[in-house]
Structure 1
Amino acid sequence: MKRFLLGLLVALSLNAVDRVNGEDDVAPVRMGCGIMTFDTVPGWGLRPDGNSAIGSTHGGVVVDKAGNIYTSAKEGVFVFSPDGKVVQSYLGKAYSNIHDMEIREEESGEFIYGARNADAEGIKFNAHSGEIVLHLGVPEESGLKDSIKFNPTAITVAGNGDIFLSNGYASNHIFKYDKTGKYLMHFGTKGNGMKEFNTAHGMTLDTRYEPPRLLICDRNHEPKGRLLHYSLNGEFMDEVITGLGMPTSVAIQGDYVSVPDLLGRLVILDKSNTIMAVLGFNPDPAKGRNFNVPQDQWVEGIFSGTHGSYWDADGNLYVQDWNVAGRIMKLVRAVPSSN
């Protein structure tokens, strides 16, 4: 086993050296298993000079109905074509530090909802014009405005337009607003108990079930991170799965959910919440959960701190690492999607 691991690390290091030297012959890496088998796309999302196009990343990924990929970075939101070229960007103070995103098609167009952790708000903006149409903060009506820090980590939207915003880096309350931003309620408390959140870090609407419910990442739950189900009325439903490391976000396609793990891997679950595949596992404990991995030390097919992911219509995955240089990767489904 030691000899195998040594050989693996040597091979990975050689692959990294290829990238350092600017060589173009880095081969795709196959990962996963069964119907969840993927190939990496070397160099996807990099500028023509081979450097990252987006800068420091601590954010999410969404895909619009045309197949364009949006990823958030410290400086704002970058929009990529499916072949990895930047075609649009929304930069500056109004779009900085979006930690999590959701995209939703509405009557007046496609809109992105964002949780801005360091900028202490939720926002909604038009995906194609960038126009910001809604700002969300701690509601006066909640009675919490003057007593808690606001550092939101996740946002999602129900079918009727109700918005859920998690204060995961602070009080761990989840605030519920209607589609106009009117406060409706809040729920959740900080702790390590069954019905508490020890960093409610990621969240989405789980449409695998009827009625849909919230799927929430309890990232720092001890002894291991877990996923939880809550009703749209804020009622605890179930502990979905435990032992996930540090789950950061969740993205649904059909019966499947992708779960980035900050320790350096991405887990795919089926509708029974059984693990179907583990992608990009990092065997080096010094590189998993490490923001400061420079681009010249990236290794094809190996993640360092997976933070956001999203599926496209063909079942391909786009994965963002929490990374000082800004890393986003495309994984092409090797077995055709049945969705």
Structure 2
Amino acid sequence: MPVVVSAHVDPGTRPGAHDHHHSVVVGHGKYQYEAVPHWGELPGGKSIGPTHGGVVVDSQDGRVYVSTDAEHSILVYEANGTFVESIAPQCRGFHAMDIGRDNRETVIYGAQLKDTLRVCKIDTEGNILMEISAETHPDLPGGWKGVTGVAVAPDGSIFCSMGYGSNLIHKFGKFGDYIKSFGGKGKPEAGKVVTRTSHGLKVDTRFDPPRLLVCDRENRRLFHTDLEGKWIGEIVTDLRRPCAVSIFGNLCAIAELEGRVTLLDKKGNILTHLGDNPNEKQWANFRVELDAIDEGLFTAPHGLSFDENGNIYVQDWNASGRMTKLKRLSQ
């Protein structure tokens, strides 16, 4: 039987401590998920890490793509956690990813932070189809330091954030042509697009017209702009350093670096917290040993993605590499 863990774990409790053989249920009410044991482990006990990247799921075949800083680069899994292959060694260190369709073929967009600072568009075999970098755009405002996020719009427009540098957000056309830049570094100010570590990005197609959803990590909030970079408004504040988001129906899942995943509705109301870690020493801690992490809890969620069935795949920022599948239980 699964071990049940409350969405809000009481301080001092350790449900299922270090038990990596039994599933754990997190969330409550309509939003319950089973943390699937051993999901994504590599053959022979090989480490999948370091994980400091993103997760995307192909809606066509359900395959899950996980970026790492390790030599194997991007790991490809079946939905059940079976390892398929590794791809794109030249794209090691995708800090964030998004997924789309190009002429009916699945393509992946990555913001590469390690080895080379660039945005790449690749196919599912790992071949580079397009690059946006200092070589193609040497005069990019604010320079190429610290690319952190990438998102693609329905019309093929590409957005990238420079959260470890200028904090600008750049918009490019479908074929990589530079369009504009907006934002910059600052504390929240009414009506202004400013961030402190602009991190993950997502084009939010729950709205018509679509909006750009921005993870403003160190200002601890999410906000919307339109696709021209004009301020729309804050969605939620007082988060635990949001790093990435994913959309499923009207739900939004947030990877928060300080030890939890949060679900919002379309209006920005908090529905539940998942895997909320009561051990604050593990929050945003890259060096936590895997066997020291309680099943069903997170230490440093950095990337995540829903699949077509509403399951959530979460990557912790971790030296050894950690992936968790949260299997949706309620409808």
TM-score by length of 2: 0.91
List runs of 5+ in structure 1 lacking aligned partners. Answer: 20-25
Q: CA deviation at 1:83?
A: 1.3
Q: Which amino acid is the alignment partner of residue 257 of structure 1? A: C
Task: Give the whole-Å Cα distance in 2 for the aligned partners of 1:42 and 1:178.
Answer: 41
List runs of 5+ in structure 2 lacking aligned partners. Answer: 1-9
Corresponding residue of 1:23: none
Task: Give the whole-Å Cα distance in 2 for the aligned partners of 1:52 and 1:307.
Answer: 21
Paired residue total:
315
Corresponding residue of 1:83: 80
Corresponding residue of 1:218: 216
Cα distance 1:164–1:5, how it changes in 2: closer, same or farther (>3 A)? closer
The answer to whether the aligner puts 1:33 opposite 2:28 as a matched pair is yes
Corresponding residue of 1:54: 48
Q: 2:122 aligns with which of 122, 125, 128?
A: 125
Task: Give the whole-Å Cα distance in 2 for the aligned partners of 1:315 and 1:249.
Answer: 17
List aligned pairs for 1:41-190, cutoff 5 A. Answer: 41-49=36-44, 51=45, 53-64=47-58, 65-75=60-70, 76-92=73-89, 94-118=90-114, 119-127=116-124, 129-138=125-134, 143-144=139-140, 148-190=143-185
Cα shift readout 1:15-39 (whole Å, capped 9, x = no counterpart) = 31x44xxxxxx21111111221101
Q: CA deviation at 1:268?
A: 0.4
Task: Give the whole-Å Cα distance in 2 for the aligned partners of 1:260 and 1:95.
Answer: 23
Corresponding residue of 1:284: 279
Cα shift readout 1:183-236 (whole Å, capped 9, x = no counterpart) = 111111111132211111011001111110100000001xxx000101111111
TM-score by length of 1: 0.89
Q: 2:205 aligns with which of 201, 204, 207?
A: 207
Cα shift readout 1:96-116 (whole Å, capped 9, x = no counterpart) = 110100010121511000001
Cα distance 1:53–1:82, how it changes in 2: closer, same or farther (>3 A)? farther
Corresponding residue of 2:297: 302
3-state SS of 1:307 partner: strand
Corresponding residue of 1:244: 239
3-state SS of 1:296 partner: helix
Cα distance 1:141–1:171, how it changes in 2: closer, same or farther (>3 A)? same
Q: Which amino acid is the alignment partner of residue 83 of structure 1? A: N
Q: 2:257 aligns with which of 250, 259, 262?
A: 262
Corresponding residue of 1:22: none
Q: CA deviation at 1:158?
A: 1.0
The answer on whether the counterparts of 2:133 and 2:144 sit within 8 Å (CA) in structure 1 is no
Cα distance 1:52–1:40, how it changes in 2: closer, same or farther (>3 A)? farther
Task: Give the whole-Å Cα distance in 2 for the aligned partners of 1:201 and 1:68.
Answer: 25
Q: CA deviation at 1:47?
A: 2.9
Q: CA deviation at 1:316?
A: 0.6
3-state SS of 1:330 partner: strand
Q: CA deviation at 1:298?
A: 2.4
Cα distance 1:140–1:67, how it changes in 2: closer, same or farther (>3 A)? closer
Q: CA deviation at 1:148?
A: 3.2
